[in-house]
Amino acid sequence: MGLSPAEKVAQILPVLEARYGAVTTELHYENPYQLAVAVVLSAQCTDVRVNQTTPAFFARFPDFASLAAATPEQVLPFIRSISYPNSKAQRLVQLARTVVEKYSGELPKDPAELQNLPGIGRKSANVIASVLWEAPVIAVDTHVFRVSRRLGLARGNTPEKVEQELSSIIPPAYLGRAHHWLILFGRYHCTARRPKCDECPFTDLCDAYQNALLRSPRSSG
């Protein structure tokens, strides 16, 4: 009989911790405002591209107040290289105005309140809360979703269901770090296409590998 998801995670997390250590988001930021903006910009966009864009953005709009006073048309030139720049310009201004008007310019710390802000969904709220305040939540992005299902840590078919499953088997103190470990493992190792199964330390535990779904085809030559 195979291992349960809880038994698997007990073996997998120490390996990921040894590999990646005390990592955090790859987005560059210096304060809650900058992280919130970077997270909004990162939707369907690489962290590398966001990090190339934000220095000029923050020089022009250094805080929620200055961004709230701007129009989407004034924001747009600073984020043209980002995916969906028009909609993100609108969301950023709406976000800033809401934070200024409703929260006196300070991000709320409660993930439930965060996810109700313009441009901040459940995943983004969990990222912000776990990175800034070490809230015991795990954000499920495309990498976490893929790796968790491949390894058999979760079987849910939506990010919300996978989040619930992971939250039930990962100790609360590890949730935020596990998010980053799974992202890095998915981004650079267990990739969507051509995962590096030959280098993977978890093939004995991996449902997908054991089911021969991800094994690289052998060369016939």
Q: How many domains does the chain have?
A: 2
Q: Which residues of the chain have pLDDT under 50?
A: 218-221
Q: What range does the domain containing 165 cover?
A: 5-23+138-210
Residues 128 and 108 in one domain: yes
Residue 37 lies in a domain: yes
Which pLDDT belongs to residue 1?
Answer: 54
Q: CATH number of the domain that 189 lies in?
A: 1.10.1670.10
Residues 162 and 190 in one domain: yes
Dist. CA 24–CA 18, nearest whole Å? 15
Residues 183 and 116 in one domain: no
Residue 112 lies in a domain: yes
Boundary (domain end) residue, out of 100, 117, 133: 133
Boundary (domain end) residue, out of 102, 133, 164: 133
Which pLDDT belongs to residue 217?
Answer: 52
Residues noted as catalytic:
123, 141
Residues 50 and 93 in one domain: yes
Residues 113 and 197 in one domain: no
Residues 39 and 124 in one domain: yes
Residues 142 and 93 in one domain: no
Which pLDDT belongs to residue 219?
Answer: 32
pTM of the model: 0.84
Which pLDDT belongs to residue 2?
Answer: 82
